[in-house]
C-alpha cells in the first residue's frame, strides 16, 4: 500500500460581487480626496496618450514605460517629484538627480535595500506586526493606519540607524510630503505652503541626524528615503488589506505559494503612487503624440498597470513587467520595491488566519498619497480550530 499525499484544497478565485465591493471601497480614497482630478483622468483614459493644453496625460502601458525610461526628463522642474524633493531639502537627492551623482546615491541605498538588507530589517517590522495585530486574537479591532505608520517609522529608523521614535519619524515624513505635494496638484496654492514644507523637511532631517561621522548618507538623502518609504507604506498596506478583505482573498493570502503573487497583484491594483508628475527635457513622441521640451507629463501609473480594469487574482496575475510599473521604470525605478513587497507579504501572512473584515474606514483627505486615515479590521475567525 502506498501513502498518498493529501490533495491541496483548491483556493477559490474572487467572485465578481466581491471584486466590485473591493473596488467600490478603494475608489473612495480618490473620489473623496481629489474628485475633479480623478474624474478628468477617468474621462481621458481611453486614449493611451492625451494632450490637454501644455500637459500630456499618459495612460497607456507602453507610453508610460517609455516616458520614464526613454524620454529625457527635467528632474528639477517645479511641480515634479524631483522638484518637490529639491524644494524640500537643501541639496535634493535621488529623485532630482541625473548621471554620476544619481548613480553614486543609488549605490549607497541599493545595498541597504537589497535581499540581504531586507532580511536584516525584517525582524524590526515583524515585531511591530506581532504586537499590533495581537488584539485580533481576543476579538478586538485593529486600526491598520497607526500600525503601518509605526511599521514604516521603525523600518526607516533601523535603515538609517537613528534613535528618534518611530512615530515621530513617520509623522514628520507624512507632514513633509503632504506640504510638498500641494505644489503638484492643480488649484490655488495654500498660503504659506512652501514655508510649511520647508519647516517639515527641516524637522525630519533633524530627527534623522545620526551621531556617526562616518555615515554615508547625506541629510537630504536620509530625508528623501524617509519620505519615499513612509508615505507609500502608510498608503499601501491598509488599502491592500482592505481590498483583500472585501474581495474575500484570504484563501490566496493564506497559501504560501500564491501569497507572493497576490502581493504583487494587490500593489498593482491599488497603485499607491497613482500619478507621477514629470516634465520633458527634450522633444519626443509618445504613441504618436508629439511631446515638446517643457511639456508637463502626467504619468498615470494606475492606468498603465491596468488597476482600473483588471482586478487582482493570484491565479491569473498580470505579467510581472506590468505589475512592476507601479514602482516606476528605468534608472529611477523604486529601489524600495523589494522591501515593500516583503512587508505586505508578512502582513498578509499574519492576518490570513483571522480572515479579517473591514469594520470602519475613513479617507485621509490631507495625505500626500490617496489612502485611509483609519482602517479598522476585526477577525472573522478567532480560534485555531476554526481555521
Ligand atoms: C508600495 C510601496 C512603494 C511604491 C508603490 C513606490 C513607488 C515608487 C515610484 C513610482 C517611484 C518613482 C520611480 C520612477 O521615477 O521611475 C519611486 C521612487 C523611489 N522610491 Fe519608492 N515606492 C514604494 C516604497 C518605497 C520604499 C519602502 C522605499 C525606501 C525604503 C522607497 C524609496 C524610493 C526612492 C529612494 C525613490 C527614488 C529613486 C530614484 O529617483 O532613483 N520606495 N518609488
Alpha carbons within 13 angstroms on the beta-carbon side of residue 59 total: 18
Residue of 78, 21, 19 lying closest to 278 (CA atoms): 78
**Segment 170-179, tens digit of pLDDT:** 999 999 888 8
**Boundaries of every domain in the chain:** 16-386
Ranges 40-49, 127-136, 158-167, 178-187, most confident? 127-136
Atom of ligand 1 nearest to the CA of 328: 16
CA of 16 to the centre of ligand 1 (A): 32
CA of 75 to the centre of ligand 1 (A): 15
What is the grid cell recorded at 10? 483548491
Q: Is 98 helix (H, G, I), strand (E, B) or coil?
A: coil
Please determine, looking at this structure, whether the domain spanning 16-386 carries the CATH number 1.10.630.10.
Answer: yes
- Is the predicted pLDDT of residue 360 greater than 80, yes or no? yes
What is the grid cell recorded at 39? 474624474
| Inter-axis angle of helices 115-133 and 99-113, nearest 10 | 50
- ∠ CA 165-169-170 to the nearest 5 degrees? 115
pLDDT of residue 327: 98
**Which residue has the CA at smallest separation from atom 3 of ligand 1?**
232
CA of 46 to the centre of ligand 1 (A): 27
**Strand-pair category, 55-58 with 296-300:** parallel
pLDDT of residue 98: 74
- Is the predicted pLDDT of residue 280 greater than 70, yes or no? yes
- Is the predicted pLDDT of residue 48 greater than 90, yes or no? yes
**Segment 335-357, tens digit of pLDDT:** 999 999 999 999 999 999 999 99
Ligand 1: residues whose CB is within 6 Å? 68, 94-95, 106, 109, 113, 224-225, 228-229, 232-233, 236, 267, 272-273, 276, 326-330, 332-336, 339-340
Instruction: Please report which confidence band the pLDDT of residue 211 belongs to, taking 50, 70 and 90 as the band edges.
Output: low
**Which residue has the CA at smallest separation from atom 36 of ligand 1?**
334
d(CA 233, CA 243): 15
Amino acid at each position: 500500500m502506498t501513502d498518498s499525499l493529501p490533495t491541496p484544497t483548491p483556493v477559490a478565485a474572487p467572485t465578481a460581487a466581491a471584486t466590485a465591493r473591493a473596488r467600490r471601497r478603494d475608489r473612495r480614497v480618490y473620489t473623496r480626496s481629489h474628485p475633479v482630478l480623478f474624474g478628468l483622468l477617468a474621462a481621458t483614459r481611453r486614449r493611451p496618450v492625451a494632450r490637454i493644453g501644455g500637459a500630456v496625460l499618459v495612460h497607456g502601458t507602453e507610453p508610460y514605460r517609455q516616458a520614464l525610461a526613454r524620454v529625457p526628463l527635467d528632474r528639477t522642474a517645479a511641480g515634479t517629484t524631483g522638484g518637490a524633493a529639491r524644494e524640500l531639502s537643501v541639496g535634493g537627492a535621488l529623485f532630482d538627480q541625473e548621471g554620476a551623482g544619481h548613480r553614486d546615491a543609488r549605490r549607497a541605498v541599493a545595498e541597504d535595500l537589497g535581499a540581504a538588507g531586507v532580511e536584516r530589517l525584517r525582524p524590526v517590522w515583524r515585531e511591530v506586526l506581532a504586537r499590533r495585530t495581537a488584539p485580533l486574537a481576543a476579538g478586538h479591532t485593529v486600526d491598520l493606519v497607526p500600525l503601518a505608520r509605526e511599521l514604516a517609522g521603525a523600518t526607516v529608523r533601523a535603515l538609517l540607524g537613528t534613535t528618534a521614535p518611530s512615530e515621530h519619524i513617520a509623522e514628520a515624513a507624512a507632514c513633509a510630503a503632504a506640504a510638498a505635494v500641494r505644489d503638484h496638484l492643480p488649484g490655488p496654492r495654500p498660503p504659506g505652503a512652501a514655508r510649511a514644507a520647508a519647516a517639515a523637511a527641516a524637522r525630519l532631517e533633524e530627527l534623522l541626524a545620526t551621531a556617526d561621522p562616518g555615515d554615508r548618507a547625506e541629510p537630504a538623502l536620509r530625508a528623501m528615503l524617509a519620505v519615499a518609504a513612509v508615505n507609500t507604506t502608510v498608503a499601501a498596506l491598509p488599502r491592500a488589506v482592505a481590498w483583500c478583505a472585501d474581495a474575500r482573498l484570504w484563501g490566496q493570502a493564506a497559501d504560501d505559494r500564491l501569497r507572493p503573487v497576490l502581493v504583487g497583484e494587490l500593489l498593482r491594483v491599488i497603485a499607491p503612487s497613482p500619478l507621477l508628475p514629470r516634465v520633458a527635457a527634450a522633444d519626443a513622441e509618445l504613441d504618436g503624440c508629439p511631446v515638446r521640451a517643457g511639456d508637463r507629463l502626467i504619468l498615470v501609473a494606475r492606468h498603465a498597470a491596468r488597476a482600473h480594469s483588471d482586478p487582482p487574482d493570484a491565479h491569473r496575475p498580470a505579467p510581472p513587467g506590468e505589475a512592476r510599473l507601479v514602482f516606476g521604470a528605468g534608472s529611477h525605478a523604486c529601489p524600495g520595491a523589494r522591501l515593500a513587497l516583503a512587508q505586505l507579504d508578512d502582513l498578509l501572512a499574519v492576518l490570513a488566519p483571522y480572515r479579517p473584515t473591514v469594520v470602519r474606514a475613513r479617507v485621509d483627505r490631507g495625505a500626500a498619497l490617496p489612502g485611509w486615515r483609519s482602517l479598522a479590521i476585526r477577525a472573522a475567525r478567532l480560534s485555531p480550530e476554526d481555521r
